[in-house]
Structure formats: structure tokens, C-alpha cells
Structure 1
Amino acid sequence: MKKLLIVGFLLIGVSAIAYTLYNNKTELEESATLAMKSSEYISVTVEKVSEKEVNRNFEANGVFEPSQELKLMSETSGTIVKINKRKGDYVKKGDVIVQVDDRLIRADYTIAQLNLEQAGKDVKRYENLANTDAITKKQLEDNQKAYNIAEAQFSALQKRLDDTQIKAPISGYINEEYYEMGALVSPGMAIADLINTSQLKLSVHVTENEISKVKLGDQLSIRVNAIKGETFTGKVDFISKKADGSFKYEVIIIMTGSNLDKISPGMFGTAEFQFAQEGKVLQISRKAIAGSLKDPGVYTIQNGKAVYRPIKVNPLTEGSIEVLEGLDSNDEVIVSGLINVKEGTPVKVQ
């Protein structure tokens, strides 16, 4: 009796296993069939190419800079014996900022001046003698040569004497000083930083798409971040011909108008570039572009299959593209599912 029960239970277990395996096989076959059907096409979404109004205005941020900025260097050596200007002072071009001890150079200068005067007298005397054939031509040439040497020595010492007065090469403010009374200076040593703020400029960087719209002389509205509620004006004075490492182009704007004394170098500003609008243009989503904007293309659908079409575009914003060539209004382009789409791929619009 027990053996019969055991055999019965075994039969029931085997039947249950067989039934489960059969069901699993059926489910696998159905899944395989469904996969085969789904692989027959790629599900995609599309959008129509449409005409939309486009705003070509843009803004660019930058930093205000002085029209001139330089580091004044010493061209002489010696001890500073007099200071005429200090940090923050306004200087005119040619003003003496510091005076370096010039006593030794001035003594050499005086000697060179006397030598030059004497050489000049000697040349005149020898020229008179040469007219009467009292001297040889070589004697006259030697005296003329001696005069030229004396003149060159005098000019060199005159330059060295002038260099002891360290002067401002431009008009502006002393933004930083590197000197003290009694300090020893040498050629190439920094003396002061000078800035000319009489005409401020705003340096901004724009993209390759934006630079094509900017022209020299364009009048712009400028906002200063630190000055609320007031707008200034500027004029485009420079446009770089080559992009920098971030693929942007420099545009320098010279500030014009009034109240510019409120703006200081180093402040942040925003230039508003405004242009005549061109009405409506053909536009598509950036997501529809297959590949890069340097070699753009899109996929359309013909007879249920994807068809690649190269196009020419003009970027408008991060999410919108202007179509210049290759598409017409109401054409439909694929915007999603592109990762699996190739030329001739069967597709189905969701």
C-alpha cells in the first residue's frame, strides 16, 4: 500500500514538472515571436518643420578695462633721491614720478658737452685751413670723425641723464607703486603700474554664430552689474579675427556717453546686441540633428523607412536650429529613437 502511495506521488510530481516545463516553453516561444515582431521596426517620434519667428538679439558679459594699462620700468640704475607722485595720484604724460641720483652721470654729461663744443670748433678751424690748402684732406677727415664721436658720446649721456628722471609715458593714475625713498633701482625694475581711465572699454566674448552679426561701429546698450537701474552706451571698436581656446571671439566695446566716472575697471558689464529681426524662418529641434552641427543631417520617413537627408543649418538657441537648406515647411523629421536609426531602417511613428 505504501509503495503504491509513493508511486502515485512520484507520478503527480513528474506530471507537475512536465506541465511547468511545457508552460515555460510556450511563454518563451511567445516572447521570441513578440521580439521578432518588435524587431521589424524602430519606434520613433517626429515633428514637422515649421516657420517660426526668431529673435536674433543676444547678450554678452565681460569686464571693464582701462583704455591704457602698462607697467613702468626703470631704464637706469641708482638711488631714488626724490618722489614726486604716489599711488593713486593722477599724472600727465611726461610728469616726473621719481628722481634717481644723477650726480655722476651729470658730471660725465658736462664733460661730454665740453668735448663736443671743442670738437665743433676744431672742425670749423680745420675747414678754414682746408680751403687754403694748409692741411691735408686726411687731417680734416680725422677732425670730422672726432666730432662725430663726441656727438655720439654726448647723445648717449644725454639719454642716460634723461633716464634718471623716471617719467609717466601716458596720462592716467598710479594704480600701484614699487618704490621708496632711498631704494636702489636697476634697469628693468618695475616702478609703477599706470592706468588710463579716460576711456573705458568692455571686453566680451561671443560665439561663432553671434560674431557674424556684429559690425564695427555698432552702438550698444551696456548694463553695469554694480550700478542698478542705469544704462550706459558703447560702440564696437574691435572684433577679433580668430577664436580663442573656447571657440569664442573677442569684441571690444569703447564706452561713450555720460556718467562714465561711475564705472571702475574690473567691474562686470553686460552688452546688449540688438539687430533688425528677419521675420519667420524654418526651424527644427536640436534633437532632430543626426551627428554634429558641423556636418548636420536629419532622418525623414518614406514608405515606412528612415531616409537620411543632409541639411545646412544655423544655430539659434541651445534647443532650436534654423534650417537654411535641405528641408521644406511641413516636412517631418525624426526627433527621438535616432540612436538605432540608420538609412533604410524600418520605423513606426508612435
Structure 2
Amino acid sequence: MKGKYIAIGSIIIICGLITYKLAANKEELDTRKNQTTVSEVNIPVKVATVKDSLLEFNITKTGTIIPFTEAKALAPVSGTLKNIRFSLGSNVTKGQVLALVDDRAEQLDLQKAERNAAKLKSDLNTYTELLSGNAATREKVDEIKANYQDAMTQVNVIRKNISDATIKAPASGMISIKQVEEGMYVNSGNEIATIVDISKTKARVFLSENEVYQVRKGQSVEITTDVHPNITFKGTVDFISPQADETRSYQTEILIDNQSYSLFRSGTYINLKFLGGKSKKTLLIPREAIVSSIKDPSVFIVGKGKVEKRDIKTGRETGGLIQVISGLKATDKVVVSGQINLKSGSRIKISH
């Protein structure tokens, strides 16, 4: 009987020891967990204050250099090219002879036409005299006169064809495309060369419907390009299309003050900044404050040692700053470094 009580007492003591040990372990685990939690939420971050600033809204676009003028040199008559006086890259002036079309056949035709016209003129003089003496009829004189006029018309046509056999440059500039070689046969209207004039420089850019109403003819424009990184060119708006294209864009041309036409070549990409935009107060935050994407932006706002993730609506970007249209107010503080470890409700430690 005594042994039974001893066994029961031993069991009770062992159970008590186990319970105590488990409680002690739980308390230690909870302490470690709390310590770990505290260390996880005290995340070091850097913050910036939302600024209420005056911002000038200038339109910035990417455009392309285009020739000031572009002209096509065409063959006015059909024939074989016998003398080409230009090459690819040649500089030509308006009216300069570019090529000659073989006109030997026309020269022979001209000689025959001139002989025929001379004979008819002589006949007309003779019959006119006979008519004055009633030795010829008025009908005969009129017939010869009509034949003479037709002959002179033919002479003038052949002379013009011979004149057209000399192909001249329709504009001054550089030969950018050469499409013929000596000895080739060309038909009337065939293109033999393209001439581009880059002594003055223009840029072409396409504006959206919203942008085109903010731009006016004569407006100043700043132009930069990667090929001349240390030069800022000046320009003015020269043309704004009154009609949108199929993409709802409006073609706009800018005349550039090009100190040397060799600085730009047609097709070069450029950056344009339309000056004189309206200034207004707006909220700005550093670009680094944006988390996720610029199309779906959000930021972490600081308050009472914690952060809250908030979606915002953004606008223009300028000098590393982003315009905030909605979602923030002036004096709000946003996290600009350390966001990768944050979520709404995380505790933070602001570092400087």
C-alpha cells in the first residue's frame, strides 16, 4: 500500500516537472519571437518631404531631322543619256546642267522642219504678191499660210525638245540619290536624281491632340541630340498641320538655327523641348519614392514610426522629380530608400 502511494507521488512530481519545463520553454520561445519581431520591424529607411513647387510645363518630344527642301530631277524627254555631270554626294546649284539626252535625231528633224518652213514662207510671199495682181486666189494663199503656221509650230516643238534634252537641277543642294548611269535610256518623266537642301535644317515631330493646342507657330524650341551632347540648338515652330493623321497625331516642323549644315544629317534623332509653357504649383516627389511601376505607382507614407502603402496618380517627370496629381499632400513624408523590406504597418527607423 505504501509502495502505491510512493509511485503515485513520483508520477505527480514528474508531471509537474514536465509542465514547468514546457512553460519555461514557451516563455523563452515567446521572448525570442518578440525579440525577432522587434528587430524585423525596425527597418532603416530614408525619407523625403513632398514639395509644393512651381513647375513650368514644357512639352518634350523626340523628332527627326529632315531636309529643308527635297527635289526630284526628272527627264523631260525620252532618249539615251550621253553626258552625266554629277555624282552621288555632289553639291549642285539650281539651274546647273546635270545631264544631256542624246538629241541627234531631233537635230536632224529640226533641219528638215526648218527647210520645210522656209519653203512655205517663200511660197507664201510669192502667192501673196500674185494675189495682189489677181493672179492667185485667196483660198490658195490661206492654205499656204496655214501650212506655214503648222510648220513653224513643228519647228518650235522640236526646238523645245532639244532644249529639254539638257536636264537641269530644279533646286540647290546635295545629290542624295543617283538613279541613272551614262548610256541608259530614260523615258519622259523618269527620275534621275534626288536633291536635298540641308543648308538650313528642319525637324519633324508629331504632337498629340492635347499637345498641339499648347504649341503655336513661332514658339521657341530647344534641341539636343546624342551625336552633339555638348551643344544646345535653338529653333522655332515653322509649321503645324491643321489636320491629324490616321494615328490622331499632328505633324509639326521646327526650323533650326544650324550654325553649320554639316552638324546634322537628314534622319538624325533629336530631343525637342518646347519653351514658354505655363507655370503652376504642383506636388513633387523624388523618382526613387515610386514603388512598382510608373504606370501603376504607389509610395510608402511615414506616420508615427510606421509606414502605409498608398496608391497615387502621377504626371510629368522633371529633373529626377515626379509630379503627383493625387494621393498625397504637401508636407507628407515618403520613403525613398529601403522600400524593398516594407509593407503597410511596418515599423521603421529613419536614417540620415
TM exceeding 0.5: yes
Distance apart, 1:125 and its partner CA: 5.9
Distance apart, 1:226 and its partner CA: 1.3
Residue of structure 2 in register with 1:164 after alignment:
165
Residue of structure 1 in register with 2:69 after alignment:
68
In the alignment, is the contact (CA less than 8 A) between 1:87 and 1:177 conserved in 2? Answer: yes
The amino acid that maps onto 1:97 is: L
Distance apart, 1:137 and its partner CA: 4.2
**C-alpha distance in 1 between matches for 2:261 and 2:76:** 35
Residue of structure 1 in register with 2:230 after alignment:
229
Distance apart, 1:230 and its partner CA: 0.5
The amino acid that maps onto 1:272 is: K
Residue of structure 2 in register with 1:202 after alignment:
203
In the alignment, is the contact (CA less than 8 A) between 1:73 and 1:189 conserved in 2? Answer: yes
Give the alignment of 1:71-150 within 5 angstroms. Answer: 71-120=72-121, 135-150=136-151
The amino acid that maps onto 2:183 is: G
In structure 2, the CA distance between the partners of 1:90 and 1:260, relative to structure 1 (3 Å rule), is closer
SS in 2 for 1:138: helix
In the alignment, is the contact (CA less than 8 A) between 1:109 and 1:161 conserved in 2? Answer: no
Residue of structure 1 in register with 2:178 after alignment:
177
In the alignment, is the contact (CA less than 8 A) between 2:110 and 2:155 conserved in 1? Answer: yes
Distance apart, 1:252 and its partner CA: 0.8
The amino acid that maps onto 1:162 is: S
Distance apart, 1:202 and its partner CA: 0.5
Unaligned runs of 5+ in 2: 1-51, 284-313, 330-352
In structure 2, the CA distance between the partners of 1:85 and 1:259, relative to structure 1 (3 Å rule), is closer
Distance apart, 1:66 and its partner CA: 0.9
In the alignment, is the contact (CA less than 8 A) between 1:207 and 1:249 conserved in 2? Answer: yes
Q: Per residue, is there more strand in 1 or in 2?
A: 2
**C-alpha distance in 2 between matches for 1:151 and 1:73:** 28
User: Which sits farther off after the overlay, 245-254 or 91-100?
Assistant: 91-100
In the alignment, is the contact (CA less than 8 A) between 2:71 and 2:170 conserved in 1? Answer: no
Residue of structure 2 in register with 1:6 after alignment:
none
**C-alpha distance in 1 between matches for 2:123 and 2:219:** 65
**C-alpha distance in 1 between matches for 2:201 and 2:132:** 64
Q: CA RMSD in A?
A: 3.4
SS in 1 for 2:147: helix
Distance apart, 1:141 and its partner CA: 3.3
**C-alpha distance in 2 between matches for 1:157 and 1:204:** 47
**C-alpha distance in 2 between matches for 1:202 and 1:264:** 11
Distance apart, 1:239 and its partner CA: 0.6
In the alignment, is the contact (CA less than 8 A) between 1:225 and 1:267 conserved in 2? Answer: no
1:242 aligns with 2:219: no
How many aligned positions are there? 242
The amino acid that maps onto 2:152 is: E
Who wins on radius of gyration, i.e. which is larger?
A: 2
Residue deviations 1:6-32 (CA, integer Å, cap 9, x gap):
xxxxxxxxxxxxxxxxxxxxxxxxxxx
SS in 1 for 2:188: coil
Residue of structure 2 in register with 1:152 after alignment:
153
Residue of structure 2 in register with 1:270 after alignment:
271
SS in 2 for 1:67: strand
Unaligned runs of 5+ in 1: 1-50, 283-314, 323-329, 331-350
In the alignment, is the contact (CA less than 8 A) between 2:69 and 2:198 conserved in 1? Answer: yes
Distance apart, 1:92 and its partner CA: 1.5
Distance apart, 1:207 and its partner CA: 1.2
Give the alignment of 1:53-64 within 5 angstroms. Answer: 53=54, 55-64=56-65
In the alignment, is the contact (CA less than 8 A) between 1:69 and 1:196 conserved in 2? Answer: yes
Residue of structure 2 in register with 1:46 after alignment:
none
Distance apart, 1:206 and its partner CA: 0.9
Distance apart, 1:165 and its partner CA: 2.0
